[in-house]
Structure 1
């Protein structure tokens, strides 16, 4: 039997999921998107050939979606989620990619018997190179979990944690991780300019170096420390730069502090 999906919200991450599902082979007629904006809904129907509804009240409950995916901003979840409690009796699994909303939150809103999968993707999902970490409640069965994992795999790697508390750390590490990498590219570019390179050349070098190094790390399967050592000749220029970056007050303690601060913020937002 074909899997029927109800996608609630289709912004950047929801759009990445939708695009990934269609490339994965999900039939567009089995996807319905809840989109209140008429222009956006028209664009979705035109581009992806999916059905759209302005609200969940317009969705025929007899169609029984297998998965309801919450891809709206967490700030509006209190308004959005309660409208989907009526689906809980249809053996649906709720898959949420909204940051900061816990499993207990959804159980309170949707019902204690609702099957919940809470996931944290990141923005490289837009190019199918993301990493998504998820956890579930005890109501979600193995078939539902496998289905959600398959859907999430359309935007990159997928990993499961049994400890929901890990999601706050994941939010800090991989959710914010792309921003830290982009900041590295910014800093490299500025350092090159300060050292005397033309601005455009320095930006190009920084962009391609960061992207290429990430691709090398991905393809090689090697530990990043090994790759770092491969680049570093004893007594050479790279070793001199790393002497500063790896000092006691260098990158590692700064990143430790940054991840700890972001993790704490994630936990505060979940309250």
Structure 2
């Protein structure tokens, strides 16, 4: 059996503080196959964002291994795209220029004309055609997040990390962007890791959901999402989705110490 594209095994990590080490991760195991999409959920402060930094090579684990394509991650990787809750768009640049920004840092085999054509195609894919020359302040929160997603994808990353990118948006806009994410993934294949507090978001977007325990965190539970074929929001209102949500809610309560480990 082929090794997963992302393979995190027995990872431990502690932050250094004035009062001594602060353990965050203790025995974390996560794997994502090539082209797969994993969601990571758990109580606040359980190390979900730390996990994204380890995958991106922005920090090293104290123990265990983080491997991509079977090779240990030893430093920042140019084939990783990242999008966060705050889009962090540069106000003095147009939306088009914001999307193109990573290509000023990461080498691209595309010509300038091809880069711009790609940026325009991505913006059209997420519904921002005609807004290329607008400034971020002229766009709604949901539109800015769409632009942020295009920026994360502009250099054709192999791995896309999404750290609560839709958390600050209203429910309607979030659902709209979830659907767009599925369309984007069909057109722009990537291996995805989503950090989220929204369990509905997790089961709608992901193939597998990993539940982390409290601090220091370990992998407490792993759920395969058995939704085949194209997904639409109606999937979230089925008995199967309700059952998955109940299981995940219970596992979160276990992680918080508010419920016994056995099924409720």
> Which structure has the higher relative contact order (CA within 8 Å, separation 6+)?
2
TM-score (norm 2): 0.36
Report the structure, 1 or 2, having the larger helix content. 1
CA radius of gyration, larger in: 1
TM-score (norm 1): 0.36
Report the structure, 1 or 2, having the larger strand content. 2
